[in-house]
Structure 1
């Protein structure tokens, strides 16, 4: 086996074990302003820590040249709350990269599916729904809705949307669809980078009746049955065209890049520019516009 054939080792983002670290040994990388301490978000985090403790450990990195000193990468509000409470220490994840900006690129903020998993994890540990509602400063119905978030959602869609900021009402719309149609709608939302509830409603409204979970006839306020059928036909045509474009996108994009590169080389030639300016000025203007667009992109 040559060196090129040998598998490459992937550097771990965190050390294999978490550490309980004294708060005095953790150096924040930013100051929490007083306005943040008075915000609803700060109060929610403080209530959560009071009721159920730290669910997501802060992330730190070892400070080079300083024994048992750590720089805080993520979790400044949590650390600030613990200090205000008088807690002596906290369990932390220890990152292997000493650049906070790199670490922040690796983590994803709390998407609703991640919040759903966090709630299930807390419930498994014996935390009641009522206590969670108090901790997160939300209604009990909100906790229950998020607990049941993925009921009726196929595993493929859940995996596809797990890191996306998707409104809870969008999942309610997806639950009206059969699994295959759920996948199609989720892929469409991903391609368009659009996950809003109204957009999901429009995709459900354009779904043929046989792809719905319920066999009851769809009823959309302000639309007649004929208009709904027309929407279904148009949606089918658009979906077919979208799939065709998706299949040829890679080749078309490569052709476009090569063509723009060729035009850029042409417009760099003084002789070519003089010839076009004299005999085909409209083509020269168009070529230059295309090259400028490429450079701007």
Structure 2
């Protein structure tokens, strides 16, 4: 039996008078002085509206619309004197922020988009104006991946690493960059502090300038030596887990299935409850383990 697919949006954009769009939440007065508002205003002024506001039909009042997403964009359009705007029409009137359902642009992706814009003839000045940034900031974004090996870039292409993190990776040789990227991902920590900790724990021979002693602000040479040892042990532990992960997961799945069948026998359950209640509790815990919990336990 085929099921009907329900679309989240209407097929066509709707061009609507700004005055006919009603916001579903009040805007704080301080918003217009915020960095986000200024950046959106600069972008719309330079290259126009990139992401259309999301609206839904106001069933209680014909000809009026409810604004689900794009409140700041709408304020900018009003301030710039725009009277009509092209909108995406939602078939659902739930007033949540759609931007929370999408992934934010990672620095590596932003870097590639800026390079593509430059290849198409867009000047650095125009890009800087659209993003409300200085040309020096744009130049730094252009050079973000200079000195970073392709393997490390591939690992971090969709991660929220700041430019300072890449500056830290750039001080390491390619093989160490890959190891550092994996450490960042495994810890799900892309902070500058953690990147500096990895740098502090990096052996001197794995630095680009291996002849110069490491200098990390706030960390003494003795502390760096200890961090090198701790980081080496951590990497060995991670490697050991990765080597046996598949086999351990298979064993756990088989054991869970077997124990589940045992507990499906009422006579066995009765016997365990009467004679080995502590085992019964543990067996039941095993059968309730989810794949996510199994991954953590390993």
TM-score of the two chains, using structure 2 as the length reference: 0.69
User: Does the aligned pair in 1 maintain the 2:44–2:50 contact within 8 Å?
Assistant: no
Aligned pair in 2 of structure 1 residues 282, 57: CA closer, same or farther (>3 Å)? Answer: closer
**Corresponding position: 1:172 with 2:171:** no
The aligned length equals 270
Aligned pair in 2 of structure 1 residues 257, 118: CA closer, same or farther (>3 Å)? Answer: same
- Equivalence map 1:58-207=2 (5 Å): 58=52, 77-78=72-73, 81-82=76-77, 84-87=79-82, 107-123=102-118, 124-128=121-125, 132=128, 135-138=130-133, 141-207=136-202
Quote the residue 1:224 is aligned against. 221
Q: C-alpha separation between the residues in 1 aligned to 2:100 and 2:241? A: 31
- Equivalence map 1:209-220=2 (5 Å): 209-215=204-210, 216-220=212-216
**Corresponding position: 1:38 with 2:22:** no
Q: Residue by residue, what CA displacement relative to the aligned partner does 1:31-61 show, whole Å, maximum 9, x if unpaired?
A: 46423853622232012222x2138454989
User: Does the aligned pair in 1 maintain the 2:148–2:170 contact within 8 Å?
Assistant: yes
Q: Residue by residue, what CA displacement relative to the aligned partner does 1:100-158 show, whole Å, maximum 9, x if unpaired?
A: 99x979953122223333444555412417x726x544455544432322222222322
Q: CA deviation at 1:28?
A: 7.8
After the TM superposition, which of the residue ranges 149-158 and 31-40 deviates more from structure 2?
A: 31-40
1:285 to 275, 278, 281: 281
Q: 5+ residue gaps in structure 2? A: 1-11, 58-65, 294-298
Quote the residue 1:6 is aligned against. none
What RMSD, in angstroms, separates the aligned Cα atoms of the two structures?
A: 4.3
Q: CA deviation at 1:212?
A: 0.8
TM-score of the two chains, using structure 1 as the length reference: 0.69
Q: C-alpha separation between the residues in 2 aligned to 1:182 and 1:296? A: 29
Q: Residue by residue, what CA displacement relative to the aligned partner does 1:54-74 show, whole Å, maximum 9, x if unpaired?
A: 38454989x9xxxxxxx9997
**Corresponding position: 1:53 with 2:47:** yes
